[in-house]
A and B are shown apart, each in its own frame.
With several copies, the nearest count.
Chain A
Amino acid sequence: MNVDKIRQDFPILSQTIRGKPLVFLDSAASAQKPRVVIDAMRDAMETQYANVHRGLHWMSERTTEAYEACRDAAAALMNAESREEIVFTGNITGSLNLVAHSYGRGVMKPGQAVVISAMEHHSNIVPWQMLRDSHGIELRVAPITDAGELDMIAFEALLADGKVGLVSITHMSNVLGTCTPAARIAALSHAYGAKVMFDGAQAIVHRAVDVRAMDADFYAWTGHKLYGPTGIGVLYAKRELLEQMPPFMGGGEMISSVTYEKTTWARVPHKFEAGTPAILEGIGLKAAIDYVRAIGYDAMAEHEAALTEHALARLGRIEGIRIFGQAQDRGGVVSFALDKAHAHDVATLLDRQGIAVRAGHHCAEPLMRRLGVDSTARASFGIYTTHAEIDALADTMTRVREFFA
């Protein structure tokens, strides 16, 4: 994998920030977009755009094809059995809420339980709290070990009483970088009669996801982290579940026929896609998926593993830096704290040098409490990240530490 060449695909990377070359280490929040994505969206708007699905004219038909090609691409990317198992939403938060409504309120029964883990993003906590509070579902939290891994024994214990209807767990923590053993989680969940969903927002950026191999019932992710546009999220769900679930939002596109008395739903996946879809975003995401697949997950994973190792080594040598998470299996995200300075001050000082990291609770307040901190700084890597950028981070951190000493 030729990172220099890849960097040329991302126009934004040549920007300067406060007079310094941009060092973008905030890809886990949202990734930058390659030229193919930018061009795909622009070309659509310049040469081939109309509303989709119901149009009988040329522009509409061509736009429908271009947009629906994203469904095929997403299905292939995840190795879904069929394109009908792919539902588009607005972001992964939308995907998780869809399942919390349509499966949680629509299929689960009061008295059942949902299991999440202690390292979830708010998007995989709050929908279940709302389900708990409105639908009488118990919310159980599987603990993590001090290394930041899912405690599999405690996890299994939570399933033991057979009340768990759904397990919803991150496939990769956006704070600790921990990758969770999806196939084992799924097998255990199924053994105790629970369905299983993975929050793949981070995981799908770093490794090949095979929903059939891991036997996921639901798998959700978000376009903007996979080098695609904002405004589009993806939900994979086994067809039988989609068939079983009532719709979430009502409106155009998701109906088969409407009378005031009775409305019948469109076939899956359209039953879950109300209103004009994110057409341009689907076209952009298709280009992003193609781009990622052309590079290949093997190369990406290898690159990011090397970067992560380098970052852990370099940051680990700086006195006063604490690194969070020592999972065996981890992706390209490193959270850290400096003893003498608040994470916000760290982020600002780095920003002043053109280095973009995130600082705060990373939408994971309960995990922050588990780690005993209010906030951390986080550097996260993409396909365009270089070893030199990590060196710049580490060198600057040394000076930040001196500055606040």
Chain B
Amino acid sequence: MSFADDVRDLYQEVILDHGRRPRHGKRLAAYDVTAKGDNPMCGDRVEVWVRFASDGAIAETGFEARGCAISVASADLMAETVQGRGKADTKALFEAFRTMARTGVCPDHDAGLDEPLERLAPLSGVHEYPSRVKCATLPWHALDAALEGTREASSE
């Protein structure tokens, strides 16, 4: 197998792309909640800002991340997939994503999560690299903390 083939199981094109050019990698000018996430084991750090729509669903998510391609891409894909979702729905998605990142398989889930999980699926390759699972879940921990009203999260 070529070098590129070898590494595509984890670094798929979509990850490289979102890692290099995140669409949501910015602080929101106006936001409702925010939180920081920290992985002291490897030094990754992410900060998220969330603005809600009038119905309570997430209108927009922005982030600033200092870390590896996986954590930046995961933050960006997260921002993309949670848009328009309510809090409960977002939490369910987090749980399902977390399982996928850890095990590589998509857990049983609500039909409503089919589409977002498919979009997050490129990240499932991390399950082969246990120490990198936290890179992928860190932005989600931060988002969860923001939604919960706690200001800090850690994926340690």
Number of A-B contacts defined by CB within 8 Å: 70
Question: Which segment of A35-43, A50-58, A383-391 sits at the interface?
Answer: A50-58
The reply to whether A341 and B156 contact each other, CB–CB distance below 8 Å, is: no
The reply to whether A344 and B11 contact each other, CB–CB distance below 8 Å, is: no
The dominant DSSP class at the A interface is mixed
Query: Would you call B10 an interface residue if the criterion is a C-beta within 8 Å of the partner chain's C-beta atoms?
Result: yes
> Please, which residues of chain A bring their CB within 8 A of the CB of B41?
53-54, 360
Bound together, the chains give a CA A61 to CA B6 distance in angstroms of: 19
Binding site for A on B (CB under 8 A): 3-4, 6-7, 9-11, 16, 38, 40-44, 66-70, 129-132, 135, 154, 156
The reply to whether A267 and B156 contact each other, CB–CB distance below 8 Å, is: yes
Q: Which of A351, A375, A403, A404 contacts B129 (CB 8 A)?
A: A351
Query: Would you call A348 an interface residue if the criterion is a C-beta within 8 Å of the partner chain's C-beta atoms?
Result: yes
The reply to whether A61 and B129 contact each other, CB–CB distance below 8 Å, is: yes
> Please, which residues of chain A bring their CB within 8 A of the CB of B9?
352
Chain A: interface residue total (CB-CB under 8 A) = 33
Bound together, the chains give a CA A61 to CA B156 distance in angstroms of: 15
Given A341-B69, A344-B42, A399 and B129 contact (CB-CB distance below 8 Å): no
4 additional contacts (CB under 8 A) given A60-B131, A65-B130, A256-B156: A345-B70, A348-B132, A360-B41, A404-B16
Given A266-B156, A403-B4, A342 and B130 contact (CB-CB distance below 8 Å): no
The reply to whether B132 and A56 contact each other, CB–CB distance below 8 Å, is: yes
The reply to whether B40 and A257 contact each other, CB–CB distance below 8 Å, is: yes
Residue-by-residue, is A351-371 near B (CB-CB < 8 Å gives 1, otherwise 0)? 111000001110000000000
Bound together, the chains give a CA A375 to CA B68 distance in angstroms of: 11
> Please, which residues of chain A bring their CB within 8 A of the CB of B6?
18, 352-353
The reply to whether A396 and B69 contact each other, CB–CB distance below 8 Å, is: no
* Shortest distance between the CB of B151 and any CB in chain A (Å): 15
Residue-by-residue, is A131-152 near B (CB-CB < 8 Å gives 1, otherwise 0)? 0000000000000000000000
A343 to chain B: closest residue by CB: B68
A395 to chain B: closest residue by CB: B3
B38, B129, B132, B154, most chain A CB atoms within 10 A: B129
> Please, which residues of chain A bring their CB within 8 A of the CB of B156?
256, 266-267
Bound together, the chains give a CA A55 to CA B70 distance in angstroms of: 16
Given A53-B41, A360-B42, A360-B43, A349 and B132 contact (CB-CB distance below 8 Å): no
The reply to whether B3 and A345 contact each other, CB–CB distance below 8 Å, is: no
Q: Which of A54, A257, A266, A349 contacts B11 (CB 8 A)?
A: A349
Bound together, the chains give a CA A361 to CA B41 distance in angstroms of: 9
